[in-house]
Amino acid sequence: MSMCLQAINLNTFTHQSRTRIPVHNRTLVNVNSHLRISPIWNIRKGIITACSAPSQEILQQKLSDEDENSSSDAENSDSVENEQQVVVEFSANESIWNQTVEIIKFSGPAVGLWLSGPLMSLIDTAVVGQGSSIELAALGPGTVFCDNTSYIFMFLSIATSNLVATSLARQDKDQVQHQISILIFLGLVFGVLMFFCTRLFGIRALTSFTGAKNIEIINSANTYIQIRGLAWPALLVGWVAQSASLGMKDSWGPLKALAVATVINGIGDIVLCRVFSYGIAGAAWATMVSQVVAAYMMIEALNSKGYKGFAISIPSTDELLQIFTIAGPVFLTMMSKVAFYSLLVYFATSMGTQTIAAHQVMVQLFMICAVWGEPLSQTAQSFMPELLYGANRNLSKARMLLKSLVIVGASSGTILASVAASIPWLFPKVFSSDPQVIREMQKILLPYFIALFVTPSILSLEGTLLAGRDLKFISLSMSSIFVFSSILLMLLSSKGLGLSGCWFALVVFQWARFFMALRRLTLSNGILYSEEATQNELQKLKAA
């Protein structure tokens, strides 16, 4: 009899606590077996038939009736919530390798968010470099002004994906629409401001980079940025729409937009620059049109999901505060990166036209290869929060995941650096036929390889810090590294080390980021090792 009571108690406990997904055949998802389906009735039958008491059939019928009633009552109110819970548990219980593969399937296409700008600038570099060394040199300050300045507004993308994903988790579609409308309004405002800033202060900004004596470079670069400046509103609005799609777990929309924009840019460069000989102006028009088309595609992707992509709303003071609380530390980090890369161009411009042209080619190759490490950062930001603060919190698995990401980062860094360094070494005429430009490119292959090799691993570590909400450390450490590396850059340049000195300063900048982040994550009282630190951050998240 005692065995029977134990079986009944076990059955009752299972009935009350088991996560249920209402379906027609009343099945239970067994998360630990890769979502295999097991009938609830068979499970219960296996438990009840272990009893031999005469009251077995009465109790069994009673429990069955209770099960029917509770299942029917809960079907409408809990189905979506329970389905979401199962998805979370599934990802937490998967192996580290399977977790990484699944997230890369999502974040891989999303690399277009970072790849679009450098890829278009690289196409411009390859086409313009075939016509004029002066215009190729002008692309250096021109693309720095356009691309690096646009990265400052990456905080809009991060805030959008964060807010949209949070509201979707609460199943509040109206709030998602409101947040998208607010952020599109902010993107439009910042875009219009950047358009007027380009018109009013473009010449001054370029002169500060190149020096007043390089008048030919300044004029060509100004033509480039004024044409591309027409796309500023569309560019930032498109970033917001793209990040909203990522927050909705749609990474194929950005990939399609990137593919179409790249094709338009490539065809436009060939037609306008090579066929009609418009030079740097033709490259700017091709890039501008491709960015407008990409933005339109992103908004249409939101419309296809049932949202109003063209609707805008003016945010309140509290809403602005919420957005900039999330985006502030990331903004400071991005500013430090942009400022240091801009300093590299600033010091390179004092070394002659051919040196500027060589630096332009190498920095564009570096940028387009570096962004391929961003999916590792996305992987960390997608998986780490659940392992650090979720229901299945497991710091040991979090450390294993970080180890896996760093290993993958080192492997991909080796491949990227090798391929990227081999292009100017084996095929330098792809970018320029000027022998002096080719010599300058090949002089810096060693620091170029060392700096690029560690970049994917850096992004893995910094993505983990972002997932752990260690935003204060990220912003302060990046600011400190920027100051130190900038001083080193000035010292190396003053010693007459030329372009090699600039790139060795970049090596120090990259490896300092790597060791600072690695040190932070391996502290005994850090987020990956200390239960107390993790619990404190968990309480902050609950309070928010």
Write the single-letter amino acid at 285: W
Q: How far apart are CA 93 and CA 397, in angstroms?
A: 10
The sign of the torsion formed by the CA atoms of 414, 419, 420, 426 equals: positive
Per-residue pLDDT in tens (0 to 9) along the chain, 544 residues: 444 444 434 343 333 344 444 444 444 444 333 343 333 334 333 333 344 444 444 444 444 454 544 444 444 444 433 433 333 343 445 565 676 676 667 667 767 667 766 677 778 888 887 778 888 888 888 888 887 788 778 888 877 876 776 677 567 788 889 989 999 999 999 999 999 999 999 999 898 877 777 788 899 999 999 999 999 999 999 989 988 887 777 778 778 887 898 899 999 999 998 889 888 999 999 999 999 999 999 999 888 888 988 888 898 888 888 788 777 887 888 888 888 988 888 888 878 888 888 888 898 889 888 888 887 887 777 677 777 765 567 788 888 888 888 888 898 899 999 999 998 888 888 877 888 888 888 899 999 999 999 999 999 999 888 777 787 898 899 999 999 999 999 999 888 888 899 999 999 999 999 999 999 999 888 888 876 555 555 555 554 5
Give me the helix-helix angle, 353-370 and 435-443, nearest 10°.
Answer: 50
- Return all residues near 217 (Cβ < 8 A) that are at least 6 apart: 134, 137, 138, 141, 210, 349, 353, 356
- pLDDT in the model for residue 112: 66
- pLDDT in the model for residue 47: 37
> What are the backbone angles phi and psi of residue 406, rounded to the nearest 5°?
-65, -40
Collapsed DSSP state (helix, strand, coil) of residue 467: helix
Are the beta carbons of 537 and 469 closer than 8 angstroms? Answer: yes
- pLDDT in the model for residue 271: 93
Q: How far apart are CA 61 and CA 63, in angstroms?
A: 5
- pLDDT in the model for residue 288: 93
> What are the backbone angles phi and psi of residue 458, rounded to the nearest 5°?
-60, -45
Q: Which helix or strand (DSSP H or E) is residue 490 part of? A: helix 471-494
Are the beta carbons of 395 and 534 closer than 8 angstroms? Answer: yes
Q: How far apart are CA 504 and CA 78, in angstroms?
A: 58
Torsion of CA 523, 524, 527, 528, to 10 degrees: 100
Closest CA to 31 of 84, 77, 110: 84
Token pair recorded at residue 87: 């998805």
Token pair recorded at residue 510: 């990259």
What is the 8-class DSSP label of residue 429? G
Strands (E), 8-155: 27-30, 36-39
- pLDDT in the model for residue 35: 40
Print the SS3 string covering 336-358. HHHHHHHHHHHHHHHHCHHHHHH
What is the 8-class DSSP label of residue 390? S
Token pair recorded at residue 123: 């196409």
Q: How far apart are CA 403 and CA 134, in angstroms?
A: 46
The sign of the torsion formed by the CA atoms of 449, 454, 455, 457 equals: positive
DSSP 268-289: HHIIIIIIS--HHHHHHHHHHH
Closest CA to 102 of 297, 368, 386: 386
pTM for the full predicted model: 0.64
Closest CA to 474 of 380, 391, 398, 394: 380
Collapsed DSSP state (helix, strand, coil) of residue 52: coil
What is the distance in angstroms between the CA of the first residue and the CA of the last residue of the chain? 51
Token pair recorded at residue 395: 């710091």
Collapsed DSSP state (helix, strand, coil) of residue 27: strand
Q: How far is the CA of 521 from the CAs of 255, 411, 530, in angstroms?
A: 32, 20, 11
Collapsed DSSP state (helix, strand, coil) of residue 152: coil
Where do the structural domains in the chain lie, given as residue ranges?
A: 2-73, 111-315, 336-544
